Structure 1
Amino acid sequence: MMFTEESLENVVIEYLKDIDYKYIHGSNLNRDNKEVLLLDRLEERLINVNKEIPKSSIKEAIRKIRTFETNDVFTNNKLFHKYFTEGVEVTDFIDGETKYYTIKLIDYDDIENNDFLVVNQLEIVEDGNKKIPDVIIYINGIPIVCMELKSTSREEVDIEDAYKQLMNYKEVHIPSLFYYNAFLVISDGVNTKAGTITAPIDRFMAWKKVNGDEEIKDLFSIDYRNLDTLIYGMFEKNRLLDIIKNFILFTPKGKIMAQYHQYYGMKKAINSVVNAVKNDGRAGVVWHTQGS
Structure 2
Amino acid sequence: MLIKSDFIEFLARSNADLGDEEREQIFESFRLVGGDSAFATLHKVYNLLINGMPFSPQNEPKKQISLIDFENPRNNTFRVLNQFVIEYTNNGQKQKRVPDIVLFVNGVPLCIIELKNPADFNANIYSAWEQIYVRYWRDIGHLFHYCVLACISDGVKTRLGTVRTAYQHFYAWRRVNDEDKLSTLPFDEMQSMIKGVYEPSRFLEIFRDYIYFEDSIYDSNERQIVCRYPQFFATRKLKQSIIESIRAKNGKLALVNETKHITQN
TM-score of the superposition, structure 2-length normalised? 0.87
Equivalent in the alignment of 2:53: 88
2:68 to 80, 93, 106: 106
Which residue pairs with 1:282 in the alignment? 252
1:281 CA drift (Å): 4.3
The residue aligned with 2:218 is: none
Matches within 5 A, 1:60-139: 60-70=25-35, 72-93=37-58, 97=59, 99-127=61-89, 128-139=94-105
SS at 2:63's partner residue?
A: strand
Which structure 2 segments of 5+ residues have no match?
216-220
Classify the secondary structure of the residue corresponding to 1:199. coil
Query: Relative to structure 2, which stretch is displaced further, 54-63 or 230-239?
Result: 54-63
Structure 1 unaligned segments of length 5 or more: list them: 1-35
Tell me by how many angstroms 1:71 deviates: 6.1
Alignment RMSD (CA, Å): 2.3
- Choose from 251, 257, 268 the match for 2:226: 257
Q: What SS does structure 2 have at the residue aligned with 1:83?
A: helix
Larger relative contact order (Cα-Cα within 8 Å, sequence gap ≥ 6): 1
| SS of equivalent residue, structure 1 residue 238 | helix
Task: Look up the equivalent residue of 2:187 and give its one-letter code.
Answer: Y
Within the candidate set 195, 198, 206, 2:161 is matched to 195
Q: Is the 8 A contact 2:137 2:144 kept in 1?
A: no
1:182 corresponds to which of 148, 173, 176 = 148
CA distance change for structure 1 residues 247 and 152 in 2, over 3 Å: closer, same or farther? same
Q: Distance in 2 between matches of 1:248 and 1:87?
A: 16
Pick aligned residue for 2:178 from 182, 189, 212: 212
CA contact (8 A) 1:208 1:226 kept: yes
Distance in structure 2 (CA, Å) of the matches to 1:256 and 1:164: 18
Superposition deviation, residue 187 in structure 1: 0.4
SS at structure 1 position matched to 2:56: strand
Matched, 1:231 2:231: no
Which amino acid in 1 is paired with 2:226? M
Q: In structure 2, what is the equivalent of residue 241 of structure 1? A: 204
Q: Could you tell me how far 1:271 is from its partner in structure 2?
A: 1.6
SS in 2 for 1:144: strand
Change (3 A) 1:53 1:285: farther
AA matched with 2:84 = L
Q: From the superposition, tell whether residues 81 and 158 of structure 1 become closer, same or farther in structure 2 (CA, over 3 Å).
A: same
Q: Determine the C-alpha separation between the residues in 2 that align with 1:248 and 1:161.
A: 24
- The one-letter code of the counterpart of 1:90 is F
Q: Is the 8 A contact 1:131 1:174 kept in 2?
A: yes
SS of 1:37 mapped into structure 2: coil
- Secondary structure of the 2:87 match is strand
Tell me by how many angstroms 1:278 deviates.
Answer: 3.8
Which residue does 1:12 correspond to in 2?
Answer: none
| Cα pair 1:150 1:157 within 8 Å, conserved | yes
Aligned with 1:184: secondary structure? strand
Tell me how far apart the structure 2 counterparts of residues 271 and 68 of structure 1 sit (CA, whole Å): 36
One-letter identity of the residue aligned with 2:48: Y
Counterpart amino acid of 1:116? F
Equivalent residues of 2:33, 2:45 under 8 A apart = no
Scaled by the length of structure 1, the TM-score of the pair is 0.79
Alpha-carbon spacing, 1:71–1:147, altered in 2? closer, same or farther (3 Å): farther
- How far apart in 2 are the matches of 1:278 and 1:44? 38
Query: 2-side partners of 1:185 and 1:285: how far apart?
Result: 32
Matched position secondary structure for 2:45: helix
2-structure distance, mates of 1:291, 1:131: 32
How many residue pairs get aligned? The number is 251
CA contact (8 A) 1:150 1:162 kept: yes
Q: Tell me the residue number matched to 2:9.
A: 44
Q: Aligned letter for 1:183?
A: L
